Structure 1
C-alpha cells in the first residue's frame, strides 16, 4: 500500500481520503484469522469463516449479558463480512455501549474503531473524514489497554501509515509504536510494513520473508498479508516479473489460503494468459479467505476473454450481487453484464 502524502489544512482530496478509508478497511483484512479472541469457541468460528454462526453465538451471548466484550468483538467481526449497513450500525452501537459499561475492555474499543472505519467509508467522503478521529482514538485506546495484543498494535501502525497528516497520520509515530512491540520479530515485521508504505518493496519483502513467526498466528497472518500487499503493489506498477515469485511463495507456504492463487491468477490475467488465470482463480474461490478478494470479478474478466459468456455472466453477476468491491470494479462489472444479457436471475 503506497504511502499517503500529508495534505494541507483544507479538506483532503477525494483520492487521499478514500485511500485512507480503504486502508482502514484493510485493518481487518490484515488481522483476518489472527488471534483476535480470548474465547476459543469464538476464535474457532472466526478461523473457520463460519460468519453466520459467529454472529448467532455473539447475539445469544449478548442477550444473556449485554456487556460481554468478547461477544461484542464477535458481533463486530461478523458485521464486517458483508455489505449490510444496519448490521454494522448495530455492531457500532454495541461497541459504544460496551465502552461505557466496560471502559477497560480493549476488545470494545477495537471493535468500535474497525467497524466505524468501514461503515463511515461506505457512507462517503464527508462521513469518513468526520469519523477518522474517533477511529484513531478507539484504536489507540485498545492498544493502551492491551499493549501485548498484536492486532491492536498492528492496527495502530496501519492507521498512522495510511491516514493523511491532517487526520492524524504520521510515519514517525508508526515507527514509535512499532519499536515498542514486545518481541523482536514483531518489531521487524512492523518495520517491514513501514518500508512497504514507503514503497521500498525489496527491503520489505526481504524482511517479511526472513521472519519466523513460530506459533504466533496473528503475526503469521500479518506477514502473509503484507507480503501479498507487496506483490499487488509490484503488479500495479507493471513489475509482474518481480511480483510473480511473491505469489508463488505465498501459494507454496499457504496452499489452503486464497491469496497466492488469487494473486497469481490476477497476474496471469493481466498478462493475457486468461485460460491459465481461470485455473488459479477457481482454486482461489475454493480456498480459505476467498471472501477477502474480488475473485468473481477477475474470474468474470478471464472467462469473458476466453469467450465463455454464460459462466462469465454468472461470475460477474455474483460479484455485483455481493456489493463488495471497489466502485470502479462494480461499475465495470455492471457494464460488462449488459451485453451478456444482464445479471442472472
Structure 2
C-alpha cells in the first residue's frame, strides 16, 4: 500500500510545485525590478523585458532566469527548449552564474519528464550537475537548495537520487527555517504526513516568501496524501488553514472540495470548486473534472457533460483524469 501510494503521490507533488508558483516562485531574483514584476504577476511584461535583455546580453543571468521560470508555465515544449538554449548560452560566457545553472537544471528536468524515459535517462546527469552547481555557487540562495533536495527525492537511485543525500542538503541549509522546511519535504516524501505538517505549521519563514511558497505547496501535498490514505478528517484542517492563510489562492478551496467529495457532500463540493475557479492558480487544477464528477453525482448530467468537455478540450490534466473524463462523457452521451 505504501509503495503504491508513493508512486500515486509523485505526479501530485510535481504539480504542486507549479500550482502555487513554480519552484520557489517568489524571491528568486536579485534584480529588484524583475522581482517586483514577478510579485505583481505581470508575467507578460516580465517576459518582454527579460527577452530584450537576453537579446542584448546573452549572459544576463537574471533575465535568463526569468525566461526559464516563464518556460515552466504551461506545457509548451518549444518554449522550454528556447529557455534551455538561453541557459546554455549564458553558461558559455558566465560559467559561474548560479541563476543560469538553476534555469538549465529546472527547465531541462521538466522538459525531460515530458519527453519520456529515454529523454530522462539522457538528461538526468545534466539536471543533477546544474542544480548542484547552482547550490554550490550560491549556497544561501534557497531556491537552488530546494531544487537539489527535490532532485534527490524524486530521482531514482541509479540517477543519484537518495533520501540520505536530500537529508544532508536539508541539514546544511543556510538558515534554521530553511532546514526545517526542507526536513518537512523529506518527511513528506516518506509519507510521514503528520510529521511534515507539524514542521510546516511551526515554521516561521519571516520575509522569505520563497520559503513560504514551498511550505504552502508541501502542506497542500500532505493534505492530498492524507486524502489518498483515507484520512479526510485529518486533511480538512490542512486545507482550511491554507484557505485562511492564502485566501487568494485556489488550492485551499479545491482541497476542501475534495474533502467534501469524500464526505459524500457533492453540493458543497460544487460550491467550493466554483469558489476555487475564481482564485489564483485555478488554471493549473483539474477543476472541471472534479466539478463534472460532483455534478454527475447530483444527477445534473447536462452540466456535468459541459464540465467534462471543457476539461478534455483544455488538455491540461493528468492522463488518468483525462481518460476517466472521456469515459464519463461517453457514458453520459450514450445515455442521453
Pairing partner for 1:323 from 309, 315, 326: 315
Gaps of 5+ in 1: 6-14
Given that 1:224 and 1:250 are in contact with CA atoms closer than 8 Å, whether structure 2 keeps it comes out as: yes
Counterparts in 2 of 1:164-203, with a 5 A limit? 164-203=156-195
Pairing partner for 1:57 from 49, 62, 65: 49
Pairing partner for 1:268 from 260, 263, 266: 260
Given that 1:28 and 1:114 are in contact with CA atoms closer than 8 Å, whether structure 2 keeps it comes out as: no
1:70-109: per-residue Cα shift (whole Å, max 9, x none)? Answer: 2211111112111121111111111111111211111111
Q: Which residue of 2 aligns with 1:92?
A: 84
Given that 1:34 and 1:218 are in contact with CA atoms closer than 8 Å, whether structure 2 keeps it comes out as: yes
1:151 is displaced (CA, Å) by 0.8
The structure-2 alpha-carbon separation of the partners of 1:136 and 1:262, relative to structure 1 and needing over 3 Å to count, comes to same
CA distance in 2, matches of 1:57, 1:299: 38
Counterparts in 2 of 1:67-78, with a 5 A limit? 67-78=59-70
RMSD: 2.6
Given that 1:113 and 1:135 are in contact with CA atoms closer than 8 Å, whether structure 2 keeps it comes out as: yes
The answer on 1:79 being equivalent to 2:71 is yes
TM-score (norm 1): 0.87
1:314 is displaced (CA, Å) by 3.8
CA distance in 2, matches of 1:92, 1:107: 12
My pick for the range that moved more, 45-54 or 208-217, is 45-54
The answer on 1:333 being equivalent to 2:311 is no
The structure-2 alpha-carbon separation of the partners of 1:309 and 1:229, relative to structure 1 and needing over 3 Å to count, comes to same
Counterparts in 2 of 1:38-57, with a 5 A limit? 38-57=30-49
The structure-2 alpha-carbon separation of the partners of 1:218 and 1:188, relative to structure 1 and needing over 3 Å to count, comes to same
The answer on 1:108 being equivalent to 2:100 is yes
Given that 2:13 and 2:221 are in contact with CA atoms closer than 8 Å, whether structure 1 keeps it comes out as: no
1:219 is displaced (CA, Å) by 1.0
Q: Which residue of 2 aligns with 1:221?
A: 213
1:240 is displaced (CA, Å) by 0.6
CA distance in 2, matches of 1:320, 1:43: 35
- Higher RCO (CA 8 Å, separation ≥ 6 residues): 1
The structure-2 alpha-carbon separation of the partners of 1:293 and 1:43, relative to structure 1 and needing over 3 Å to count, comes to farther
CA distance in 2, matches of 1:21, 1:98: 31
Q: Which residue of 2 aligns with 1:206?
A: 198
CA distance in 1, matches of 2:41, 2:308: 23
TM-score (norm 2): 0.89
The structure-2 alpha-carbon separation of the partners of 1:32 and 1:91, relative to structure 1 and needing over 3 Å to count, comes to same
CA distance in 1, matches of 2:53, 2:90: 13
CA distance in 2, matches of 1:54, 1:315: 33
Given that 1:79 and 1:91 are in contact with CA atoms closer than 8 Å, whether structure 2 keeps it comes out as: yes
CA distance in 2, matches of 1:308, 1:120: 41
Q: Secondary structure at the match of 2:316?
A: coil
The structure-2 alpha-carbon separation of the partners of 1:279 and 1:19, relative to structure 1 and needing over 3 Å to count, comes to closer
Given that 2:9 and 2:225 are in contact with CA atoms closer than 8 Å, whether structure 1 keeps it comes out as: no
CA distance in 1, matches of 2:85, 2:61: 13
The structure-2 alpha-carbon separation of the partners of 1:189 and 1:120, relative to structure 1 and needing over 3 Å to count, comes to same
Counterparts in 2 of 1:122-137, with a 5 A limit? 122-137=114-129
The answer on 1:231 being equivalent to 2:220 is no
CA distance in 1, matches of 2:111, 2:314: 16
Q: Secondary structure at the match of 2:283?
A: helix
Q: Which residue of 1 aligns with 2:288?
A: 296
